[in-house]
Amino acid sequence: MCQLKSTAEIIFAGRQGLQRIVICTGTGCVANGALDVYNAFLSEMTAAKIHVVDHFEALEGIKGAEKAVYLSKSGCQGFCQMGPLVSIEPEDILYNKVKAADVKGIVEKTLQNGDVIDSLLYVDPVTKKQCRSQKEITFYKRQHRLILRQCGELNPENLAEYRAIGGYTAAAKAYKEMTPDQICKDMIDAGLRGRGGGGFPTGRKWEVCRVQINAKKYIICNGDEGDPGAFMDRSVMEGNPHSVIEGMMIAARAIGADEGYVYVRAEYPLAVRRVRKACEDALKAGILGDDVFGTGMKMHLHVMEGAGAFVCGEETALMASIEGDRGMPRPKPPFPAQSGLWGKPTVINNVETLATVPLIMGMGAEKFRQLGTAGSPGTKTFALTGHVANTGLIEVPFGATLREIVMEIGGGITDKRGRIDPEGFKAVQIGGPSGGCLTKAHLDLKMDFDSLRSIGAMVGSGGLVCMNKSTCMVAVAKYFMQFTQKESCGKCVLCREGTRQMLYLLEDIVEGRGTLATLDLLQELGTVVQKGSLCGLGKTASNPVLSTLKYFKDEYLAHVVDKRCPTGECRKLAKPEIRADKCKGCTLCVKKCPVQAITGLVKKPHVIDAHLCIKCGVCAQVCKFEAVVGV
């Protein structure tokens, strides 16, 4: 397996005595005040008369024996729920949930005296052990961070820092030393498959475009990540935009393109700004432009903001959007590699795929294949969200099981109150609206393209939404169908009207109007929409419905036959009651009920008057003994 040096090892090689403070400035940490933390470090270190370096280029003037601190930003470090995160190198200290008010103490105690502040360390919820560094935290220990490693270490806004760790070396090799067919062969040998969901072999896609005879070709980066709960591509663009640009350059050289587009949804303003700056910096440095690496070849990139239509994640709809038309899919064939943007041969790869390309060029196809499985080499990033102890951005080799991801990296399933529940696992929705539902029976399933396809699911973009036993799977299916129905471009009838009718049927079920015939019609309609829709959105729109019908049929039957929601999540079917064996008679629910529907004596079991109850759920929220059920 290829062992890569850390960014710190490369940057500080030969410079003893230097320290580096890395502040996570991904979207999540920025939202929690990371920029205030950064400014506080600047202020406090200056006041403490510490030699502060906040520009990578300035490190060249620092001698090895001189005491200095390099203050740096990074992209997402992954452990989103614990942000803002602050790393201190080479001491290998990770502080979490850092506030601006904590900075003075860090400067005085850690930077000046070498002491660790225990209150800022992560505490393992199971072992209760304080963890000083990433290496000690289970969330990180179980991962293999290949794509994401540099996202959490590099300053994403500094071209010189990217080049210091070997950035653009692979692109220079591709332009100066390799032929297009050699590059395509390398990708084919590596077995790289598209990380955007379909898993089509990247090298084969490039080869199809390479052999097209046309003076003009395009490369497009698909950064239009729209799945609910997914933020993998956003984090890569925010954390290491130059890796994406370098991947695009190598792809362009392979297919014979001299122009490309980075298509990023406008809801990702930080990603847009950092990718745009990276393109501008690369152009100024002569990496992009009319004379790439002095070869006389051209390569120009444009950054385009998408308007947020989910369907524009589909490649032909994305191209229509770039061309200035409404984002609507086109029939295939011809495929974009044959006739794409403005009718020219075009390759479209997603962010993660392109960011992987320079790494393959650096480590070689053989070493890359040592990661993952035979049919799905390499690693995959996932956004882990929902009812799980450790939420955030993770990366594992293909072939890791769902159990390893959720129970080990994720720390286990949590209950309504956020406590770890060993028996609480119910399902995981993978791949967003395009994916499917995985159950307890799939906990030991290998997470790779072929294994998931064998059970009717797909990797998708990599969103993993974990659900505990209090989740109503019918309501989950309805949520995803609402999303898909709103995002349908309306071009084909099956998708436009089929998803609408499926949503109506699901509404009938959760509101108590459904029958057994409703379930039959829902199954039939879902299959028809799946088979007859034009693009990937429509073809996968039924997946959440069909998979929940398959694995949670009993919940659907409870809704239509018994007219009840087993989890109490569907308000129209809720039948609230207080369990006498759990009620302690504390009267808290009586005090909070807005319609005085609850009665009972102190220290005696209480009861709910079903005729007065408005099913607001307040009683269940305030009950400390989980005595209220059915609401």
255-273 pLDDT, tens digit per residue, is 999 999 999 999 999 999 9
Q: What is the model's pLDDT at position 367? A: 96
Furthest CA-CA distance within the chain? 88
Q: In the β-sheet with 300-306, what is the strand arrangement from edge to edge?
A: 300-306, 259-265, 218-223, 346-350
The beta strands (E) that lie in 112-161 are given as: 122-123, 130-131
CB proximity list for 4: less than 8 A, separation 6 or greater: 146, 149, 363
Residue 331 inside a domain? The answer is yes
Cβ proximity of 193 and 449 under 8 Å: yes
Helical H segments across 217-364, by residue range: 232-239, 241-255, 269-284, 315-322, 351-363
Q: In angstroms, rounded to a whole number, what is the distance separating the alpha carbons of residues 188 and 204?
A: 6
Question: Which band of pLDDT confidence, cut at 50, 70 and 90, is reported for residue 30?
Answer: very high
Indicate the average pLDDT of the chain: 91
- Among the candidates 436, 471, 506, a domain finishes at 471
Decide if pLDDT at 413 tops 90: yes
Q: What is the model's pLDDT at position 65? A: 52
Mean pLDDT of all residues in 548-562: 95
Same domain, 363 and 387: no
DSSP string, 288-315: SBSSGGGSS--BEEEEEEE---GGGGSH
Cα 441 to Cα 2, 382, 444, 474, 601, distances in angstroms: 34, 20, 8, 19, 45
Beta-carbon count within 10 A of 126 CB: 11
Q: What is the model's pLDDT at position 417? A: 80
For the ranges 15-19, 70-74, 183-187, 363-367, the lowest mean pLDDT is seen at 15-19
- To which residue do tokens 């400390």 refer? 624
Same domain, 315 and 182: yes
| Residues counted in the chain | 631
Q: In angstroms, rounded to a whole number, what is the distance separating the alpha carbons of residues 438 and 456?
A: 10
Q: What is the model's pLDDT at position 16? A: 56
Decide if pLDDT at 215 tops 90: yes
Instruction: Calculate the CA dihedral of residues 39, 44, 49, 53 and round it to 10 degrees.
Output: -30
Q: Which H or E run includes 21?
A: strand 18-24
For residue 394, give the CATH number of its domain: 3.10.20.600
Q: What is the model's pLDDT at position 7? A: 66
Decide if pLDDT at 458 tops 90: no
Cβ proximity of 159 and 275 under 8 Å: no
Same domain, 181 and 295: yes
Decide if pLDDT at 474 tops 90: yes
Mean pLDDT of all residues in 145-166: 92
Residue 482 inside a domain? The answer is yes
Q: In angstroms, rounded to a whole number, what is the distance separating the alpha carbons of residues 139 and 388?
A: 12
Question: Which band of pLDDT confidence, cut at 50, 70 and 90, is reported for residue 9?
Answer: low
Same domain, 210 and 270: yes
CB proximity list for 265: less than 8 A, separation 6 or greater: 223, 224, 225, 226, 305, 306, 307, 308, 312
Structurally, the chain folds into a number of domains equal to 5
Both structure tokens of 535: 């693009």
Question: Which band of pLDDT confidence, cut at 50, 70 and 90, is reported for residue 74?
Answer: very high
Residue 424 inside a domain? The answer is yes
Same domain, 483 and 465: no
Instruction: Calculate the CA dihedral of residues 138, 140, 144, 148 and round it to 10 degrees.
Output: 160
Q: What is the model's pLDDT at position 1? A: 32
Residue 372 inside a domain? The answer is no
For residue 597, give the CATH number of its domain: 3.30.70.20
Question: Which band of pLDDT confidence, cut at 50, 70 and 90, is reported for residue 126?
Answer: confident
Cβ proximity of 244 and 262 under 8 Å: yes
Both structure tokens of 434: 């395009």
Decide if pLDDT at 64 tops 60: no
pTM over 0.85: yes
Residue 568 inside a domain? The answer is no
- Among the candidates 367, 401, 425, a domain finishes at 367
Q: What is the model's pLDDT at position 2? A: 38
Residue 565 inside a domain? The answer is no
**In the chain, count of helices (H) and strands (E)?**
25, 20
Mean pLDDT of all residues in 369-375: 95
Same domain, 269 and 199: yes
For residue 533, give the CATH number of its domain: 1.20.1440.230
Domain that holds residue 387: 379-471
Distance linking the first and last C-alpha atoms of the chain: 52
